A and B are shown apart, each in its own frame.
Chain A
Amino acid sequence: MISLFENIGRYFMLLGKVFSRPEKLRIYNRRIWFEIEALGFNSISLTAIISAFIGAVVALQMAITLESPFIPKYMIGYATREVMILEFSSTVVALILAGKVGSNIASEIGTMRITEQIDALEIMGINSASYLILPKIVATVLFFPLLTLFSIVVGIVGGYAIAYFTGIMIPGDYVEGLFYYFEPFSITYAIVKGAVFAFIITSISAYCGYYAKGNSLEVGRASTRAVVASSITIMIFDLILTQIMRV
């Protein structure tokens, strides 16, 4: 328990270092673009594949569950849309990306730590925490909300595809459901969640890597710790955000 508090304390101290005044904004701009490509663009295909499948499975599951003459058929499209927007796209995408982006960040920064690259930056007078971590945080906080929206769209298209190809429901009904009782705030909600989760994944993973010590075994452990810690934190914040942003 003491070590948990110690870690939380060190985590916030690291954040303090990360957000202290950056060296030169121009350099940071370049690095942010680089990270958007490395962490964001490279996650698009994984997000697309998983979102399409989950969208299809959700629609199929709804079609089977709502098999009743008393429930209008458009409910399938409606339910699929709501599930994607409210829960799946932000949370599950964040969890999957914690495994990909989080472990990537932790092992990259961890390797830099044990091969003295971080010491080398410090010796040059560079604020290594800010130089390495800030661009990653900015890149993911900007890009993850977009990725969340993308996931919603792909998931809904996945549901349409399953309706179209299996004939288990009429595509027209599905589309009608998509436009049924739409609350625009739910999109804001998804975007906020995407940004918050991005911050959590990136900062916690960077923290795990930044304080790695020892050898390559430790880098592996750091990246496992990053995935576990960010996943758990995401679940906690999912609960908190759902409560405070209740639509």
Chain B
Amino acid sequence: MIRADHISKTFEGRTVLNDISVEFDTGKTNLIIGRSGSGKTVLLKSLVGLHDVDSGRIFFDDVCYTDLDFRGRKSIRKDIGMIFQGGALLDSSTVRENVRLPLDLFTEMSESEKRDRVDFCLSRVRLTGADHLYPSELSGGMVKRVAIARAIVLNPRYLFCDEPNSGLDPQTSVVIDNLIHDITKEFNITTIINTHDMNSVMEIGEKIVYIHEGHKWWEGSKDDILLSENPELNDFVFASAMAKRAKSVAR
């Protein structure tokens, strides 16, 4: 469980997160949705501590992350996996080295144990035979898969994904979504995903939080979302012409 308690964040006088309180459940894929620029990435980075919040507190299970010092945070960070919007693979390392790095730094595994673990994670994201390629030689979908493999290599308890399927074709998007969903269930992870893809919402959304201009505007399940009367949420959900028509036909 991850809980934000009245967190706010300002950049040079501009409020980006405004008094957000929200709880994300263990073993579920929790989705944060909202328009571009609404503050999703800032919220995610605030939760993991890459941005310091101006006020409010963040809890990882029962530990108040906000109050921890560098060392305390470090011990929690070993339980965190994160997939960045652009993948954020290390350019100067191969696929294998990227996935292996956390093992090199934080475990006492032998060479063969490390090799097995990396192989397992790469096959888990269905990426084999690309071990020795560099990030610049990968397609967008492959980058995301390597990022997922790296994020899960230390068996995280918390998984953060910033638009894991942006820039991918619809089929690959579904594959990536399902992958994250399956991993969440398999290892009982608290997963938080940023997205503005309604397909993901309908496919894997278990708990959905809608952010609007830095405020938490709405939260609920994917069944509630279609019936919601909230005008801003409706605009967001039914933004595409097709969705609008489908809705009017249904009525």
Chain A residues with CB under 8 Å of chain B are 23-24, 27, 111-112, 115-117, 119-126
Q: Bin the interface of chain B by size.
A: 20 to 34
Distance between Cα atoms of A117 and B82 in the complex (Å): 11
Contact status of A125 and B45, CB under 8 A, knowing A117-B88, A117-B89: no
B77 within 8 A of A: yes
Which residues between 29 and 65 of chain B lie within 8 Å of chain A, taking CB atoms? 45, 48, 50
Inside 8 A of B116's CB, which chain A residues have their CB?
none
Contact partner of A111 (CB less than 8 A), chosen from B89, B91, B101, is B91
The answer to whether residues A124 and B101 also contact, given A116-B85, A116-B86, A119-B88 and a CB cut-off of 8 A, is yes
- CB contact between B91 and one of A27, A117, A121, A123 (< 8 Å): that residue: A117
CB < 8 Å neighbour of A116 from B75, B88, B101, B105: B88
Known: A116-B84, A116-B88. A125 touches B106 (CB 8 A): yes
Q: Chain B contacts of A116 at CB under 8 A?
A: 84-86, 88
In the bound complex, CA of A111 to CA of B135 (Å): 14
Across chains A and B, which 9 residue pairs bring their CB atoms closest together, nearest first? A125-B77, A120-B88, A116-B88, A116-B84, A123-B82, A125-B74, A125-B78, A117-B88, A23-B105
CA–CA, A120 and B147, complex, Å: 10
B164 CB → nearest A CB, Å: 14
Distance, CA A115 to CA B90, complexed state (A): 9
Could you jot down 25 A-B contacts, CB within 8 Å?
Answer: A23-B106, A27-B104, A112-B90, A116-B85, A117-B88, A117-B91, A119-B45, A119-B50, A119-B84, A119-B88, A120-B84, A120-B90, A121-B90, A122-B50, A123-B77, A123-B82, A124-B77, A124-B78, A124-B101, A124-B102, A125-B78, A125-B105, A125-B106, A126-B101, A126-B105
Give the Cβ gap from A223 to chain B, nearest Cβ, in Å.
16
Bound together, the chains give a CA A121 to CA B48 distance in angstroms of 13
B225 at the interface (CB under 8 A from A): no
Q: What DSSP secondary structure best describes chain A's contact surface?
A: helix
Task: Give the residue name and chain of the B residue nearest to A124 (CB).
Answer: B102
> B84 contacts which chain A residues (CB < 8 A)?
116, 119-120
Q: Which residue of B84, B104, B105 has the most chain A CB atoms within 10 A of its CB atom?
A: B105
**B80 touches A (CB below 8 Å):** yes
Q: Are B91 and A120 in contact (CB under 8 A)?
A: no
Are B50 and A24 in touch, CB under 8 angstroms?
no
CB-defined contacts of A115 to chain B, threshold 8 Å: 86, 88, 91
With the chains together, A120 CA to B160 CA distance in Å? 11
Complex Cα–Cα for A119 and B106 (A): 17
Give the complex CA separation of A177 and B86 in angstroms: 61
B147 to chain A, nearest CB (A): 8
Closest to B101 in A: A124
Cα(A115)–Cα(B88), bound, Å:
6
Bound complex: CA A125 to CA B71 (Å): 9
A residues less than 8 Å from B104 (CB atoms): 24, 27
> Contact mask B64-79 → A, CB, 8 Å, 1/0?
0000000000110110
Residues on the B chain within 8 Å of A23, using CB: 105-106
| Given A24-B104, A27-B104, A126-B105, A120 contacting B77 (CB threshold 8 A) | no
A111 to B88, CA, bound (A): 10
**Complex Cα distance A124/B86, Å?**
16
> In the bound complex, how far is the Cα of B74 from the Cα of A116, in angstroms?
18
How far apart are the CA atoms of A125 and B75 in the complex, in Å?
7
Pick from A24, A122, A124 the residue with the most CB of B within 10 Å: A124
The closest CB in chain A to the CB of B108 belongs to A24
| Cβ contacts under 8 Å, B88 to chain A | 115-117, 119-120
Give the distance to chain A from B153, nearest Cβ to Cβ, in Å.
10
C-alpha gap A52/B87 in the complex (Å): 46
